[in-house]
Structure 1
Amino acid sequence: MTFNKSTTPKIALVYDRVNTSYGGAEHVLKAIGEIFPKAPLFTSVYSKEIALWANTFEIKTTFLQKVTFFRKRHQLIASLMPIAFESLKLDEYDIIISISSAEAKGVLTKPNQLHICYMLTPTRYIHSHRKEYLSSKNFLGWPIIKQLANLMLDYLKWWDKVAAFRPDIIIPISNLIKNRIKEFYSIDSETVIYPPADIAPRITSKRKVDFPFYLSISRLVNYKKVDLSIRATLKLNKYLVVVGTGVQENELKKIAQNQWTEKTTNETIYSLLDRAKKQNSKIIFTKDLSEPDVNFLLTNCKAVLMPGEEDFGITGLEASIFGKPVIVFYTSGVSELLENGINSIFIKDETEQEVIRAINELENTNFNQRLIRSKAKYHSTEKFKTQFENKILESWKHFKLNS
């Protein structure tokens, strides 16, 4: 099912910000961009140096882009994001598709425009994870700063609840997010469309290593709970490879104490693992890896650790492509597509003890790698693109009939 070329609507994409390295949300955005290759991408700020994955888009930014300093530090101007998105000029487009976990859903549209939001999550730091956000930075504990921060968050929460009613249709990425939308906005969203796993380029590495290790592929931020993976593997005297960047990196290295190492500039991933084994460095930090290097790690790891509650968690599906089980929090979005004891071990609490229990259970479970791989193919990017495009087309036809 595709749009009729003679009546093709003009489409624009809107995304919160394009200033992060490639992750699950970015894979979703790129897939949607492939469905609608002529659609420009509107966003608050854009960092070409960091978001290398975005060079295929025609990117249009808000006035915030004029201040170079803020392109990589959007957190400092959170209070300006509402007005920035409201200032975007979208009048010439028939369909606006916002892909949002924050402010992009709040763009202003007219009655003759269809606004569809593919919601990654209601804004975490003002709803579900507000307390965590306020406790994550020491300076936010200072009385005056804390008071000002709470005033700002109250304003953003008010605006966010208003903005949530601007899309004509909200499509959640998981039932977890569907329930959050109902809880925080009192909105009944559409049927879930799950994000895709990046199956096509995931080629099993031919290179094998006799080096048992667990794997974490994640942004290094508090809610991902990478610290639990580090503490648990250290307690069990296991190796853990941590792939990712983020504000929590230095804190995680402190947790690993003197038992960590990291990849040097020109070091290969193979040399890194060999050096870590010789040094008995249990926690191995690395980042900005090539696709073959990530494939190599997924091929050779024992399992992928995902102890924090994920809005979805695409890495969990990507592990399945390689026949590897996942230790995952039981309410995470991806757990809706996984089966405990078949391709995953569920954990019920975000605690070190529960991760230790799950690792011990995993090591005493015989997983069928062929079965795990077979289940992953049902969540390909191509299937997602077909499903998503059909939903947009059906929504547009219904919108035109009723307008």
Structure 2
Amino acid sequence: MHYMRRDELATITRLRPHRRTSGQTPPALADRSARLAIVHDWCPNFRGGERVLARICKLFPNAEVFTLFDFLPKDIKEQYFHDVAFHSSVANRLPLVQKYYRSLFFLCPFLIEQFDVTGYDAVISSSAAFARGVLTRPDQPHLCYVHSPIRYAWDEQFSYLAQGRLGFGPKGLLFRYMLHNLRTWDTRTAHGPDLMLANSSYVRSRIQRIYGREAEVVFPPVALDELEFIACKDDYYVTASFLAPYKRTDLVIRAFNEMPSRRLVVVGEGQQSQSLRGMASSNVSFTGYLPRQEYVRTVARAQAMVFAGCEDFGIALAEAQACGTPLIVFGRGGARDIVQPFGEAEHPTGILFGIQSVESLKEAIHIFEQNQPAIKSQACRSNADRFSEGRFDLAILKALAVAQAAHFRR
């Protein structure tokens, strides 16, 4: 694998190793042949976090994965995790656990601490919740790639409680108390890793505010070679995500309900699938889950991808850019790292709107249509080069070397 492209090296120059001691110099890049434990919260399906996990496994062929719950299909394992050993928690064997594993969040800190990773050369945790809390040796390098601090335990607590209709009755109070305990555990384990990486500037700011730690931004890897570039677009818009409340697909559908002359294609399944189908007008169609190749073609042919949620990064947005598809997205969260906004950038790749409302989204679509010639497909594709897999590989190898250097100098 070739790692020395100048533009990719430039993305990691801020990750400096510790000062040399005793005349010895730590390595610039980590050893890819090292035996690593990679700890990932859970693997319910193959989405953004699991794509990051797969790339790290490819980077370190001797790595083994530890995850609380593993529901990945065999074909996904064969394609992305060939010959990778997976270790799951005892709770993974509970009857029908795939239907209620998220409700076991209060047990997850205990379960993650039962993984014995002390025999490995180093640990990389891929964490949006619990993986960072794995128990390591005092002399064992630990690099943490943070997808997000625990959303539902911190700034999103009240919206999650509202969605679950958990007020201040007995059940609501119990959940609030469990979330309080989770925040205590989360804060206590925040200083375990030697180094933290954030998947976006937005997550970096949350890490600073919640944990009081600095983190470097390393964007998730986008498989550019898998993504078809199409400059000639069809006449529809697309939105694609897991259909959960915080993705705000409902807002996108309501906006298109009020614009019957425009077509919207909704890609994905999730807990809101039935209710969203029930509220949609005839100009809104649903594809459900699509195989990878068909998904890429659907996104690549759309005149724009529309997204109204606040993502920590939003790998689907970066993939859309790689397909040459402009973005019309809520201007908060990881989207600000992805989009080159119209009206600000020399080569714009999309529109950011500032308020999560139907009117704000409709206005953004109107601005896009008025200025569509200025937002070129080739500019979108070029913008996506910043998220290449090679750039991600270099950053991880450099960061793990930094984490190892923290022990090297002791």
Question: TM-score by structure 1 length?
Answer: 0.87
CA contact (8 A) 1:205 1:292 kept: no
**Which secondary structure does the structure 2 equivalent of 1:99 belong to?**
strand
1:77 to 93, 104, 120: 104
1:186 and 2:215 correspond:
no
Equivalent position of 1:177 in the other structure: 203
**Which secondary structure does the structure 2 equivalent of 1:68 belong to?**
coil
1:16 and 2:41 correspond:
yes
The range that moved more, 246-255 or 172-181, is 246-255
Distance 1:285 1:162, change over 3 A: same
CA contact (8 A) 2:140 2:407 kept: no
Distance 1:4 1:106, change over 3 A: closer
Task: Report the alpha carbon displacement of residue 196 of structure 1 after superposing the two structures with TM.
Answer: 2.1
2:175 to 140, 146, 149: 149
Equivalent position of 1:347 in the other structure: 353
Distance 1:178 1:251, change over 3 A: same
Equivalent position of 2:187 in the other structure: 161
Distance 1:137 1:60, change over 3 A: same
Task: Report the alpha carbon displacement of residue 287 of structure 1 after superposing the two structures with TM.
Answer: 2.7
CA contact (8 A) 2:239 2:305 kept: yes
The range that moved more, 191-200 or 330-339, is 330-339
Task: Report the alpha carbon displacement of residue 40 of structure 1 after superposing the two structures with TM.
Answer: 0.6
Give the whole-Å Cα distance in 2 for the aligned partners of 1:233 and 1:25: 30
Structural mapping, 1:26-175, within 5 Å: 26-49=50-73, 52-53=76-77, 55-56=81-82, 57-138=84-165, 140-141=166-167, 143-175=169-201
Distance 1:188 1:374, change over 3 A: closer
**Which secondary structure does the structure 1 equivalent of 2:227 belong to?**
coil
CA contact (8 A) 1:99 1:119 kept: yes
Equivalent position of 1:224 in the other structure: 247
Number of matched pairs = 372
The AA in structure 2 aligned to 1:127 is W
CA contact (8 A) 1:19 1:72 kept: no
The range that moved more, 118-127 or 60-69, is 60-69
Distance 1:4 1:48, change over 3 A: closer
Task: Report the alpha carbon displacement of residue 374 of structure 1 after superposing the two structures with TM.
Answer: 1.9
Structural mapping, 1:1-12, within 5 Å: 3=30, 9-12=34-37
1:83-102 deviations in whole A, cap 9, x for unaligned? Answer: 00011111101211000100
Give the whole-Å Cα distance in 1 for the aligned partners of 2:169 and 2:408: 55
1:385 and 2:409 correspond:
no
Distance 1:48 1:330, change over 3 A: closer
Task: Report the alpha carbon displacement of residue 66 of structure 1 after superposing the two structures with TM.
Answer: 2.2
**Which secondary structure does the structure 2 equivalent of 1:110 belong to?**
coil
Task: Report the alpha carbon displacement of residue 51 of structure 1 after superposing the two structures with TM.
Answer: 8.8
Distance 1:329 1:182, change over 3 A: same
The range that moved more, 343-352 or 64-73, is 64-73
CA contact (8 A) 1:105 1:164 kept: yes
Give the whole-Å Cα distance in 1 for the aligned partners of 2:355 and 2:251: 11
Task: Report the alpha carbon displacement of residue 251 of structure 1 after superposing the two structures with TM.
Answer: 2.3
Give the whole-Å Cα distance in 2 for the aligned partners of 1:79 and 1:72: 16
Distance 1:163 1:51, change over 3 A: farther
Give the whole-Å Cα distance in 2 for the aligned partners of 1:16 and 1:307: 26
The AA in structure 2 aligned to 1:350 is Q
Equivalent position of 1:364 in the other structure: 370
Equivalent position of 2:15 in the other structure: none
CA contact (8 A) 1:94 1:112 kept: no
1:21-48 deviations in whole A, cap 9, x for unaligned? Answer: x222221111111111221100111114
CA contact (8 A) 1:99 1:117 kept: yes
Runs of 4+ off more than 4 Å: 1-5
1:395 to 373, 386, 403: 403
1:199 and 2:224 correspond:
yes
1:79-133 deviations in whole A, cap 9, x for unaligned? Answer: 1101000111111012110001001111111111111110000000011210111
Equivalent position of 1:282 in the other structure: 283
The range that moved more, 81-90 or 384-393, is 384-393
Give the whole-Å Cα distance in 1 for the aligned partners of 2:290 and 2:125: 29
Task: Report the alpha carbon displacement of residue 152 of structure 1 after superposing the two structures with TM.
Answer: 1.1
Give the whole-Å Cα distance in 2 for the aligned partners of 1:325 and 1:50: 34
Give the whole-Å Cα distance in 2 for the aligned partners of 1:299 and 1:178: 30
The AA in structure 2 aligned to 1:106 is G
**Which secondary structure does the structure 2 equivalent of 1:96 belong to?**
strand
The range that moved more, 367-376 or 31-40, is 367-376
Equivalent position of 1:333 in the other structure: 334
CA contact (8 A) 1:70 1:76 kept: no
In structure 2, list runs of 5 or more residues that go unmatched: 1-27, 343-347
Task: Report the alpha carbon displacement of residue 326 of structure 1 after superposing the two structures with TM.
Answer: 0.3
Distance 1:323 1:177, change over 3 A: same
What percent identity do the matched residue pairs reach?
A: 28
1:239 and 2:236 correspond:
no
Question: TM-score by structure 2 length?
Answer: 0.85
Distance 1:137 1:4, change over 3 A: closer
1:316 and 2:322 correspond:
no
Give the whole-Å Cα distance in 2 for the aligned partners of 1:378 and 1:173: 13
